[in-house]
Copies of this chain bind each other. A is one copy, B any other.
């Protein structure tokens, strides 16, 4: 399977990068083809301009390439820190520019943009991994954990990706090395469960011997 992995964190030494490396290694171990974008490292331009908005707009080569990859993906993984209950701007702009009409969703005939669109992504599952310095209880009570709604309802469900799972690791700034090792184990488990079901069986078999 082809899996798109999208990472947005400004620090190459971050735990977000460790999560991405763990995911990529696990996907490769299971024979998947990984298409990886470190949006900060690639200096992705997140600003969607007016001329790119129409469905038949002429797109820069870089955006065409992102669009083809996300159309072809059998699975999608997104990794980012929780900044104001939202992704960093560079990732928000990847959504604005790549999750386009005609690529990720379409309006039905006679709908000028006010109706319910149909999802076009063929990916079977989407996974989101977040890091946060807000304790889980405060995140739920004070903020309502908007990242869950944003990725699950507003984006992936609308685009036709019905299997969704998200993990939020907190509080990263107060975590121990052992805690972070456990979190990376949890990352591997989630990747195996949602994107490598045959791989899971094989790995479990090997472990039993």
Per-residue contact bits, chain A 123-165, to B (CB 8 Å; 1 contact, 0 not): 0000000000111001000111010011001110000000000
The segment from A48-56, A70-78, A191-199 that touches chain B is A48-56
User: In the bound complex, what is the Cα–Cα distance between A10 and B48 (angstroms)?
Assistant: 7
In the assembled complex, which residues on chain B have CB atoms less than 8 Å from the CB atom of A50? 10-11
Within 8 A of B (CB), among A67-105: 83-90, 92-93, 95-96, 99
A53 to B116, CA, bound (A): 39
Closest Cβ of chain B: how far from A167's Cβ, in Å? 19
Of listed A47, A83, A96, A143, residue having the most chain B CB within 10 A = A47
In the complex, what residues of B have CB within 8 A of residue A88's CB? 47-48, 92-93, 96
Question: What B residues does A110 contact at CB under 8 A?
Answer: none
Nearest CB in chain B to that of A138: its residue: B116
Q: Are B48 and A46 in contact (CB under 8 A)?
A: no
A62 contacts the other chain (Cβ, under 8 Å)?
A: no
A177 near B: Cβ within 8 Å?
A: no
Name the distance in Å between A145's Cβ and chain B's nearest Cβ: 9
| Chain B residue nearest in CB terms to A94 | B89
A208 lies within 8 A of chain B by Cβ? no
Is B47 a contact partner of A89 (Cβ separation < 8 A)? Answer: yes
Q: Judge whether A173 is part of the interface by a CB distance below 8 angstroms.
A: yes
A-B contact pairs, 28 of them (CB 8 A): A10-B49, A10-B50, A46-B90, A46-B93, A47-B89, A83-B96, A84-B92, A84-B95, A84-B96, A84-B150, A84-B155, A85-B150, A85-B153, A85-B154, A86-B154, A89-B96, A113-B133, A114-B133, A114-B134, A114-B135, A114-B173, A143-B149, A143-B153, A144-B149, A144-B153, A146-B149, A146-B150, A146-B154
